[in-house]
Amino acid sequence: MFKAIFAALTAMTLGSSALAQADKTDAPRWSIAIHGGAGTINREQITPEQDRTIRSVLAKALAAGSQILEDGGTAIDAITATIMILEDDPNFNAGKGAVFTWDRTNQLDSSIMDGSDLSAGAVAGINGTKNPILLARAVKDHSPHVMLSGEGANQFSREQQLDQVSSDYYATPYRLQQIEDLLAEKVSAADVDYKFGTVGAVARDSQGHMAAGTSTGGMTGKRWGRIGDSPIIGAGTYADDRSCAISATGSGEYFIRLGVAHEICTRIRMRLPEAIREAQRAVPKNADGNDSYVIHASEFRLSDAEVQQIADDVIAELGALGGDGGIIYATPWGQAGYSFNTPGMYRGRATSEGQQSVSIYGDEE
- Other C-beta atoms lying within 10 Å of the C-beta of residue 64: 20
DSSP structure class, residue 57? H
Q: Note whether 335 and 17 are within 8 A (CB).
A: no
Please state, as a whole number, how many other Cβ atoms lie within 10 Å of the Cβ of residue 324: 19
Q: How far is CA 27 from CA 19, 334, 353, in A?
A: 22, 12, 10
CA distance 97 to 325: 20
Name the burial class of residue 314, with classes exposed (0-12), middle (13-18) and buried (19+) by CB atoms within 10 angstroms of its CB: buried
Distance between CA atoms of residues 230 and 112, nearest Å: 10
Q: What is the length of the chain?
A: 365
Q: Which residues are annotated as catalytic?
A: 198
